[in-house]
Structure 1
Amino acid sequence: MPVTDQRMTEPVMGPAEALSELFTPAGKHHPYPLYDALWELGPVIPLGPAGMLVLGYDEICTALRDSRFLVTDAAVHRTTGMNEHSSWQCFTKIMMFSNSPDHERMRRFAGWAYAPRQVAERRLLAIRAAERWTSHLATLAGGGDGGDEGGDGGPVDLVEAFATRVPITVTGELLGIPDADRMPLRTAITATTTAFEPVFDRDELLPADAGMDVLVDYIADLVRERRRRPGDDLVSAMVRDRDTAGALSEEELVASLVMFVIAGVQSPSDLIGNTVRLALDHPAEGLRLTTDDDFASAFITEALRIDPPNHVLTRAAATDIDFYGHRVAAGTRALLVLAAANRDPRQFTDPATFDTARKDSRPLSFGLGPHYCLGAAFARMQVEAAVPVLLRRFPRMTLAAPPTYRDQLVTRGFARMDVALGS
């Protein structure tokens, strides 16, 4: 039954206040009332002479398809000083932050790794990872032997003990990262994503730089090792392809693999957390999620719409553009608020309502157009595989406390989610 969560959707202030609040810690934790308030200003909101906020579904679709709106690559950042930071030195060497022709060259090189057949073949790996970490959850909660029921040892943090561990296990297996090395990389992975947030003081990039340094050093060592001793893993295959065809530089190869780690872990982890919370809030749908694969797919599509792991993409105008009645000057930064577009009342009936029966729902949570996320199907597959395993194992799981969020909006997810597994 569709249910509207008024706590997440009811406007609480005017649009000017909402705009000033959006990138504060409180605004990042509870952005949906702010998006609702900002809609009073329309689907496109100018932010002075060099910025704009775009909330509308059609407007964002247009911007994502328009080659005059550039991703923020090294050239765009030439005057910002971001290129001096190791986080952005790496990010601007990957397809996500490259424009033509580099974007197409990098996408051709890595595309096979995300092909439908490759994703389908990894599903069993994701299921096995979920089974492993549900047993771990049972042990943490006092189950001792990891039996079918959770114990009575108190709540466990689902983010640390499951939502993070499933994708880092899957990604680690694919890249040939030893089991003992995987969780120690987790802090570095999350730290790098803070670089995507709007930066008001360049010192805010220091945690992202530190995390990136860890990941780049680790992956560069792994590349060198696989070049000496190839294995049956993705790193070995990409090293071989790179050395044979020369399509990427060594730095681009390392950066691409670093991004595979970051994107392969962070978005699925956040989406697992969001999906589980929605399943606990809507128990009838959560139960059906465990028995009906088609319904599970619809559930996750709606989870991506109503509470996505990625809220904002940034574009920069390459030239002067007339955009839905607004004159956009060259160099203007456009903040495309995907999470607001996913609740555009012109596109979705009752947009604040979680409704798995929606027809032809196409949330923008993984972007659109030439830069549509290459790993979208890989992320979805992990969630579709893992969440039913978890809910079947712990059918009486409940939230033990309100979840808390990381201090991020662009990549938004839970910092902690304490659950009681049931007994």
Structure 2
Amino acid sequence: MDGEAIIGQLMTTEGRADPYPLYARAHELGAAAPAGPGVVLAIGHTAANQVLRSPAFVMEDIEARLRADPQLARHTSVTLFGRSMLQRNAPDHARVRSLVASAFNARRVAALRPAVEAAVGRLLDGLAEQGADGSPVDFMDAFAFRLPVEVICELLGVPPQDRYRFRTLAGDLAVALELVQDLDELGAADLAADELTGYFTALVAERLARPQDDLVGDLARIAADAPERISGAELLANLVLLLVAGFETTTNLLGNGLALLFRHPEVAAGLRTGAADPAAFTDEVLRFDSPVQLTTRIAAADGLDVAGVPAPAGTMVLVLLGAANHDPARYHRPELFDPARTDVQPLSFGGGAHFCLGSRLARTEAEVAFPALLDRFPRLAPGGVPTRRDRLVLRGYDTLPITVR
């Protein structure tokens, strides 16, 4: 099986459900491999890390995409992400990122920890109430979604009454981040992009009329007073990005982590007693079943290569984060889930200029949530058959039934 065949299999429902056997086949090809005309796979941990960190490999610019395929302009989900810092390059990326970065620095995240702990406590109370009679409760809806959305919305300044409307919208919009083969698949994503853009347009107007001390208010004032620092369109695109990225991946981290605890009760016991380190457990979840499995870069110049595989200008590099996290050259027996591993450096949050701003916050939420969940419910158990989302890039559960009594 060559690189092109492996990508073809990863694009199927079966391949998305369990990509890890395909990653193992990919590693047999080497640290990198061609995957059809103009496409290279970065498979190994070192190769993937180098591509992510190299300024010679850039994001695919939205203007270039629109020139190549003018039909994309009809899809507001594509253009919305294209205007956000997620898919911008220097100097625009650094200009916008610098405005947001202070909200996610170590001091601000540490200050948020009491709010995270309080939110965890409230949600555990809700789980206890819903499952008091022994009936199954969907962990994804009742906890894994609600914790990160409450935290990111508190940071942004989204009112509490609006927060729980976002799960379906964000899930629909995130389809635009997948390797979409048919643009007709973007219908729901475009509707979600329009609704979220409309929501933040109204919220920005409200903050300008009645200022508050939150991230929406701060960025709205900058856009109004100094549009050269962030334009109105960039403001809306990045607020939507912060909302979606602020909980979509953390939701998957929490769901993937709990599913692994059910499969490894000895690890759950260690977290309950304090014998296991929540931070090490979180890192191993990120490595073993990454919430983000794949990202892309474009070779910006001729003469480049990925681990010896030529990548001339314009080459698309598919960075297989999930495969890199399972690289046998980097981790002994990567197919084993082992929170006692040392020197775990998952690439799940990317690397280089586009390293995820919210990585520290996501880790904090997981490190607080898992021990508290296990301590509160000593008889926590699966409550039915879980269902996974049929996605490749963003990997997680749609439902994860549990019983808590």
Q: Fold-level match, TM-score > 0.5?
A: yes
SS of aligned partner of 2:167: helix
Structure 2 residue aligned with 1:298: 280
How much has 1:73 moved relative to structure 2?
A: 2.3
Q: Which deviates more from structure 2 when the two are superposed, residues 32-41 or residues 182-191?
A: 32-41
| Residue number among 16, 21, 44 corresponding to 2:32 in the alignment | 44
Runs of 5+ consecutive residues of structure 2 not aligned to the other structure: none
Match of 1:226 in 2: 207
1:64 pairs with 33, 52, 58, which one? Answer: 52
1:409 matched to 2:396? The reply is no
Bigger mean CA offset, 171-180 vs 223-232: 171-180
Aligned to 2:9: 21
1:398 maps to 2:386: no
Find 1:371's aligned residue among 329, 354, 357: 354
Q: Structure 2 CA distance, aligned partners of 1:32 and 1:185?
A: 30
In structure 2, relative to structure 1, the CA distance for the partners of 1:16 and 1:212 (3 Å cut) is: closer
Q: What is the CA-CA distance between 1:298 and the residue it aligns to?
A: 0.6
Match of 1:166 in 2: 147
Contact 2:349-2:356 at 8 Å conserved across structures: yes
Matched residue, 1:106: 96
2:231 to 239, 242, 249: 249
Tell me what 1:4 maps to.
none
Query: Which residue number in structure 2 is paired with residue 147 of structure 1?
Result: none
More deviation, 303-312/355-364: 355-364
- The CA distance in 2 between the partners of 1:167 and 1:325, in whole Å, is 40
Alignment of 1:167-316 (within 5 A): 167-246=148-227, 247-290=229-272, 292=274, 295-316=277-298
- Partner residue of 1:80? 69
Give yes or no for contact 1:159–1:416 (8 Å, CA) kept in 2: yes
Change over 3 Å in CA distance of 1:329–1:17 after alignment to 2: closer
Residue 137 of structure 2 is aligned with which of 146, 156, 162?
156
Runs of 5+ in structure 1 lacking a partner? Answer: 1-12, 144-150
Q: Is 1:343 paired with 2:332? A: no
1:198 CA drift (Å): 0.9
Query: Which whole-Å CA distance do the structure 2 matches of 1:117 and 1:184 have between them?
Result: 30
Q: Is the 8 A contact 1:53 1:336 kept in 2?
A: yes
1:62: how far off? 1.4
Q: Are the equivalent residues in 1 in contact too, given 2:267–2:276 (CA < 8 A)? A: no
Question: In 2, Cα distance between the equivalents of 1:324 and 1:386?
Answer: 39
Relative to 1, partners in 2 of residues 1:284 and 1:294: Cα closer, same or farther, differing over 3 Å? closer
Match of 2:326, SS state, is: coil
| Aligned equivalents of 2:139, 2:83: Cα separation in 1 | 33
Preserved contact between residue 174 and residue 234 of structure 1 (Cα < 8 Å): yes
Q: How far off is 1:338 after superposition?
A: 0.4
Equivalent position SS for 2:305: strand
Q: Secondary structure at the match of 1:48?
A: coil
Deviates more, 1:259-268 or 1:49-58: 49-58
Task: Let me know the Cα RMSD of the aligned residues.
Answer: 1.9
Question: Counterpart amino acid of 2:14?
Answer: A
| Residue identity in the other structure for 1:198 | L
> Structure 1 counterpart of 2:40, which letter?
M
SS at match of 2:222: helix
Name the counterpart of 1:90: 80
5 Å matches for 1:352-391? 352-391=335-374
Q: Contact between 2:387 and 2:398, CA under 8 Å: does it hold in 1?
A: yes
Shift of 1:80: 3.1
CA distance in 2, matches of 1:185, 1:400: 25
Which of 115, 119, 129 in structure 1 is aligned with 2:119? Answer: 129
What secondary structure, in the 3-state scheme, does the structure 1 residue paired with 2:292 have?
A: coil
Alignment pair present for 1:318 and 2:300 = yes
Number of matched pairs:
401
Taking the aligned partners of 2:286 and 2:237, their CA distance within structure 1 comes to 27
Cα distance change of structure 1 residues 397 and 325 upon mapping to structure 2, 3 Å threshold: same
Report deviation, 1:186.
1.4
Partner Cα distance (1:290, 1:257) in 2: 37
Structure 1 stretches of 4+ with a deviation exceeding 6 A read 13-16
Given residue 116 of structure 1, which amino acid in structure 2 is its aligned partner?
A
Separation in 2, partners of 1:348, 1:31: 18
- CA gap of 1:41–1:393, structure 2 versus 1, over 3 A, is same
Q: Which amino acid aligns with 1:238?
A: L
Checking the alignment, whether the CA contact within 8 Å between 2:3 and 2:35 is kept in structure 1 is: no
- Stretch moving more, 271-280 or 237-246: 237-246
CA distance in 1, matches of 2:129, 2:2: 48
